[in-house]
Amino acid sequence: MQRTELSIHEEDERETMIGEKLKTALFYHNMTQAELAQKIGVTEASMCHYCKSERDPKSETVVKICHTLNISADWLLGLTK
């Protein structure tokens, strides 16, 4: 039981990290959410949801984000520091 609770907690932290890390990457690339959304072919509303950690991007979208911002998916998803 404890292990399940820990896994759920880690999952919650990772989801929060995606939005924060995405905002950090956008800042360092001097790019707006709207600009990234246009470059990768998603709506501005979707990008806003990703940055607020309200929704998780699909795997294809993660790949596009990482390619466009030159970041690793492992870093964005909180699997590496």
pLDDT tens-digit series, residues 11-68? 555 545 899 999 999 999 999 999 999 999 999 999 999 999 999 999 999 999 999 9
What is the C-alpha to C-alpha distance for residues 9 and 13, in angstroms, rounded to an integer?
A: 6
pTM of structure = 0.79
Report domain extents, the chain: 2-76
Distance (Å) of CA 5 to CA 1, 39, 45, 74, 78: 6, 38, 32, 23, 18
- HSE at residue 7, side-chain half, CA atoms within 13 A, is 4
Enter the CATH code of domain 2-76: 1.10.260.40
Other CB atoms within a 10 A radius of the CB of residue 65 amount to 24
